[in-house]
Amino acid sequence: MNALKEMLKKREATLILLIVVLAVAVSTRAPGFLKGDNISRIVNDTSILIMVGIGQFFVILTGGIDLSVGSVIAFSGMAAAMMNQSSPGTPVILILLAGMAIGLLLGLFNGVIVAYGKVPPIIATLGTMSIFRGFTFVLSKGQWVTAHEMSESYMSIPHGHFLGLSNLIWSAVLVSVLLFFFSRYTRSGREIYAIGGNKTAAKFVGVSEKKVNLIIFSMSGLLSGLAGVMWTARYAAAVNETATGFELMTVAACVLGGVNIAGGAGAVPGVILGALFLGIINNALPVVNFSPFYQMFIQGFIVLAAMFINTIMDKRSEKKMLKRRA
């Protein structure tokens, strides 16, 4: 019994329990909700959010935020789609790498502004969010790249299958595993936690805040670039408004997953579960005949509730620590 109580104290375990309760509750209204095809659809729909959410997680871990991820997705996706449109014979792997490289450069630009310009992340990325979105309109001249202007090989990037799972899901799995080990077992991963936990103490032990900022924003940009290519290939359309507001969903996934918005606490598995929770809600609304127009309202409410719970849990942890020291 005590072991069960200890397990439920962990945010990931609580979130898994919530996901199971939500899924079972929805399945009573829609019996097909828990069928394999629908579960696969939910995971597939959530894969892009998982990848970009993990990039956002590392930025939040330092106490910052990256508001430009939606615009980076739009620009890198549009650039990749236009490359494919102008040179349909170019191997798609090169276009995929080009999209990721574009995202990496845009993320690095954010990192340089924060690290060397000493601009707070929320201000820096608020500015680049508009700049990158503007680049997208300038690049495309306001035009779209539609399905009949894309090659079959480009549109098949996220849809190909291996061992029964789509390439999009495999991409999310690969990103999750690599960055989980990066956060837990590398020096740079530990330095990111150190900067978020106590910036002054981290500097005293030799952690470079500039290096950490360059790493986290570059990583966020790289993952957004990958997501941009996957997004336009999956929906067979590159439009200038792609991923508008997506940055809020990534923040919601992190907060739901137990990432401390002030930095220093959180983990990759929590972000994955937070994204899956949002994915289930988005899938469940139309299934139970709930208007999708309530989607943003529900997401906002969930974020507020999660932050409220986080605050209560943090205060309880502080009280316990103080009691132990007394």
Confidence of residue 321 (pLDDT cuts 50, 70, 90): low
User: CA dihedral in degrees (260, 264, 267, 268; nearest 10)?
Assistant: 100
With CA atoms as reference, report the closest residue to 79 among 232, 200, 185: 232
Q: Which residue has the higher pLDDT, 226 or 324?
A: 226
Confidence of residue 287 (pLDDT cuts 50, 70, 90): confident
pLDDT at 109 over 70: yes
Contact in structure between 260 and 197 (CB atoms under 8 Å): no
**What's residue 38's pLDDT?**
86
**What's residue 322's pLDDT?**
67
pTM: 0.89
With CA atoms as reference, report the closest residue to 121 among 253, 257, 216: 216
Q: What is the mean pLDDT of the chain?
A: 88
For 30-43, the DSSP string reads: -GGGGSHHHHHHHH
Domain ranges of the chain: 13-20+31-313
**What's residue 309's pLDDT?**
73
Annotation: CATH topology of 13-20+31-313: ABC transporter involved in vitamin B12 uptake, BtuC (1.10.3470)
**What's residue 142's pLDDT?**
87
Confidence of residue 261 (pLDDT cuts 50, 70, 90): confident
pLDDT one-digit tens code per residue, 203-235: 888 899 999 999 999 999 999 999 999 999 999
Residue with tokens 């943003």: 296
Q: CB-based burial of residue 298 (10 Å sphere; 0-12 exposed, 13-18 middle, 19+ buried)?
A: middle
* Burial state string for 86-102 with b = 16 or more CB within 10 A and e = fewer than 16: eeeeeebeebbebbbeb
**What's residue 67's pLDDT?**
96
Confidence of residue 10 (pLDDT cuts 50, 70, 90): low
**What's residue 139's pLDDT?**
95
pLDDT at 29 over 70: yes
Roughly how many angstroms between the first and final C-alpha of the chain, as a whole number? 28
Contact in structure between 103 and 76 (CB atoms under 8 Å): yes
**What's residue 214's pLDDT?**
96
**What's residue 34's pLDDT?**
82
pLDDT at 178 over 90: yes
Across 97-118, average pLDDT: 96
pLDDT one-digit tens code per residue, 62-87: 999 999 999 999 999 999 999 999 99
Percentage with pLDDT > 90 across the chain:
59
**What's residue 326's pLDDT?**
62
